[in-house]
A = this chain, B = another copy of it.
Amino acid sequence: MLRSCLARLRTLGALRGPRGGARPPATDTGPALRLFSSEEVILKDYSVPNPSWSKDLRLLYDQYMKKCEDGSWKRLPSYRDVAHLDSKLIKEEQMPQARIFIRSYEDGLGFEFVMFHNDVEKKTVCLFQGGPYLQGLSGWLHGGAMATMIDITSGMAASIGERIVTANLNIDFKRPVPLYSVVVINSQLYKAEGRKLFVSCDVRSVDGKTLYAEATSLFVKLDPEKSST
């Protein structure tokens, strides 16, 4: 659905104010940026190792960080909150509670992941470890959690630079994913037609031998004028 990859990064640029620059001003479309007492949590980049990461996840992370050294791949930072600069939809007093879904859990309990993007190849790879709060049937990852990660990884392959929405998400689930295990989500933008962006995706075990899911998705670029409201 609605997402804005670069918008998040841009907003984060603004959020860096307290560390080295000026705070963003109030805008015509919403209240001034209010930073909360948990400012550091909001500013934290969650796409780095924490103690809950398994050995598999750390090893893969190191491998992809190596690929980043020549600039062909880039690690994508990920945050819990974007400070709600553009929403008029929900009551002000409820706003500070809001969290980005995929970063709404404490470390290790939910979605542990890091994404890497290759802009030339139009590929995004997500290294994902599902924690105990993502359970479906006992011991297995919930299909909705898998769908969420496929959606977000495919969305990154479709567009790092623009506001897009998911128009269609079509997933074939091949095998259930064991809870706590690490999977590799590979997504690729394979066609662009006007505002339409077509992405393919698969989910595999760390050794690549087990195929857990395959998916295709369609994203649509938003009109910048309309999407701001």
A114 in the interface, Cβ–Cβ < 8 Å?
no
A206 within 8 A of B: no
Closest to A174 in B: B167
- Docked pose: A148 CA to B1 CA in angstroms: 13
A82 nearest CB neighbor, chain B only: B138
Docked pose: A28 CA to B91 CA in angstroms? 53
| Contact mask for chain A residues 156-197; partner B; CB cutoff 8 A; 1 contact, 0 none | 000000010111111111001111100000000000000000
Q: Please give the count of copies of this chain that the complex contains.
A: 2
Q: Which residue of B lies closest to A86 (CB)?
A: B138
A145 interfacial by beta-carbon distance below 8 Å: yes
Instruction: Tell me if A137 counts as interface (CB < 8 A to partner B).
Output: yes
Given the known interface contacts A2-B136, A2-B137, A82-B138, the answer about A143 and B166 at a Cβ–Cβ threshold of 8 Å is yes
CA distance A110 to B97 in the complex (A): 11
Q: Out of B85, B145, B168, name the residue touching A148 (CB < 8 Å).
A: B145
Q: If A94-B180, A98-B179, A152-B144 touch, does A88 touch B172 (CB 8 Å cutoff)?
A: no
Interface contact A143-B1, CB-CB below 8 Å? yes
Q: Is the CB of B3 within 8 A of A143?
A: yes
Asked whether, in the complex, the Cβ of B2 is within 8 Å of the Cβ of A140, the reply is: yes
Name which residue of chain B comes closest to A139, CB basis: B87
Q: Contacts of A99 on B, CB cut-off 8 Å?
A: 132-133, 135
Stretch at the interface among A19-27, A101-109, A119-127: A101-109
Name A residues whose Cβ lies closer than 8 Å to a Cβ of B. 1-4, 7, 82, 84-91, 94, 97-102, 104-105, 109-110, 132-149, 151-152, 163, 165-173, 176-180
Question: What would be 28 A-B contacts, judged by CB atoms less than 8 Å apart?
Answer: A1-B137, A1-B143, A3-B137, A3-B143, A82-B138, A89-B140, A89-B178, A89-B179, A90-B139, A97-B132, A97-B133, A98-B132, A98-B135, A98-B139, A99-B135, A100-B136, A101-B136, A101-B142, A101-B144, A102-B142, A104-B133, A137-B163, A143-B148, A143-B151, A144-B151, A147-B148, A168-B170, A169-B170
